[in-house]
Amino acid sequence: MKSTLLTALALMLIIEGILPFVAPSMWRETFARLVRMADGQIRFIGLSSMLVGLILLFILSH
């Protein structure tokens, strides 16, 4: 279990690092837009991301 969680964390960090490495100006612009969003919009994005992740986990585990 511990190994699986560390593998998942490592993959998340790799995926999160791709955009700032490949296109730093686009990454900066994206975060500038994010800062201007309302809290509700940011929460909706977070909720949507979690739901997509849960759905993917459910699909992959069956």
Predicted confidence at residue 2, as pLDDT, reads 84
Which alpha helices (H) appear in the chain, and where do they start and end? Answer: 2-22, 24-36, 39-61
Q: CA 26, CA 39: separation in Å to the nearest integer? A: 22
Predicted confidence at residue 61, as pLDDT, reads 86
* Number of separate domains in the chain: 1
Residue 3 pLDDT exceeds 90: no
pLDDT digits (tens, 9 = 90+) for 4-59: 999 999 999 999 999 999 999 999 999 999 999 999 999 999 999 999 999 998 99
**Residue-number span of the structural domain to which 57 is assigned:** 2-61
Predicted confidence at residue 54, as pLDDT, reads 93
0.85 surpassed by pTM: no
